[in-house]
Amino acid sequence: MMFYRVLDSGEFQKLEQIGEFKIVRPAASAIWKKSDPELWQNVDAEFLRSEKGQGKWRLLSQKKFTEIQVTCTGVQLFLRPTPFGHIGLFAEQIDYWQRIIQTLSPYSDEKIKVLNLFAYTGGSTLAAAKAGAEVTHVDASKTSIEWAKQNAELNGLQDASIRWMVDDVMAFVKREIRRGNKYHAIILDPPSYGRGPKNQLWKIEEDLPLLIESIKELLSENFLFLHLSAHTPGVSALTLENLLRTYFSDQQNFITEEMYINVESGPTLPSGTSCWMSRK
């Protein structure tokens, strides 16, 4: 069984161990020095980002980084390099998968419905499905949806109640409102900028407030939680809480925190912000 680990960080990079492979990727918040330079030797691949935000992988050994199966907090995933530097995992979300499972598991005998928006390769979807929930997984990328389906099969969840939707999130939410559908939990990790399958434009500073306002109509009165996270510079955890409080003024239970990645050598690596709103 292979695992994902972050070995070290510093000088705007992070050093990751994926099974037997060591890779280096950008980490904008790692402004400190590397804790253990020796760990950075014998790296197999490095992602180099250009000034325009694009980039490329540079192979540094004879090992070929193609696809690796790993386990994270009981969730199994296929990790592979992409042209954008992603690998199919945002490690700062791993701890939330366990929180999702712990929150939903007591209701496994009930018909709990979960909506996962901007759902990527499905880590949160799989956590919810493992807890017995019915999950609607929405992402604008067909490639990410197919990747998530492969991850579901890897976890033995190919027959779980998961509805896979290649769709623009705003368009999907509006249709669900018209249909009168409700959800007991909603998860969303929106990008700073993106486009839907029909080239719909998404800008977090303009569209996230509109989305949260709409989501209020989808959340069941007896909901369990809403988890909102972000990776956009300037969007703090308190920003997310203030946004949720604007539209959910009757709610009082918020866990507002900076997301982070545990690093084996050196300081914890900040990686985004989070606000978890629960009814209880």
CATH number at residue 273: 3.40.50.150
Domain end point (choices 15, 43, 73): 73
Tens digit of pLDDT for each residue in 239-266?
A: 999 999 999 999 999 999 999 999 999 9
Structural domain of 259:
90-278
Q: For position 197, what pLDDT does the model report?
A: 78
Other C-beta atoms lying within 10 Å of the C-beta of residue 26:
14
Q: How far is CA 148 from CA 102, 154, 157, 176, in A?
A: 22, 10, 11, 22
Residues 54 and 101 in one domain: no
Provide the H-helix boundaries in 78-135.
Answer: 94-104, 123-130
Rounded average pLDDT over 13-35: 96
Residue type at 261 in one-letter notation: I
Residues 59, 115, single domain; the answer is no
Tokens matching residue 183: 């959800």
The domain tally of the chain equals 2
pLDDT digits (tens, 9 = 90+) for 99-148: 999 999 999 999 999 999 999 999 999 999 999 999 999 999 999 999 99
In the chain, pLDDT over 90 holds for what percent of residues?
A: 86
pLDDT at 210: 96
Higher pLDDT, 194 or 140: 140
Global pTM reads 0.94
Provide the token pair at 192: 């700073």
Q: Which of 53-57, 113-117, 149-153, 208-212 has the lowest mean pLDDT?
A: 53-57
Q: Are residues 11 and 98 in the same domain?
A: no
The angle formed by the CA atoms of residues 187, 148 and 273, to the nearest 5 degrees, is 35
Domain finish residue from 73, 108, 123: 73
Confidence of residue 201 (pLDDT cuts 50, 70, 90): confident
Q: Considering the domain boundaries, does residue 82 fall inside one?
A: no
The pLDDT score that the predictor gives to residue 53 is 66
Per-residue model confidence (pLDDT) at position 257? 97
Domain boundary among the residues 43, 73, 103 is at: 73
Residues 6+ apart with CB under 8 A from 90: 120, 123, 189, 231, 271, 272
Q: What CATH number does the domain containing 63 carry?
A: 2.60.40.1180
240 shares a domain with 162: yes
Amino acid of residue 105: S
Does residue 213 sit within a domain?
Answer: yes
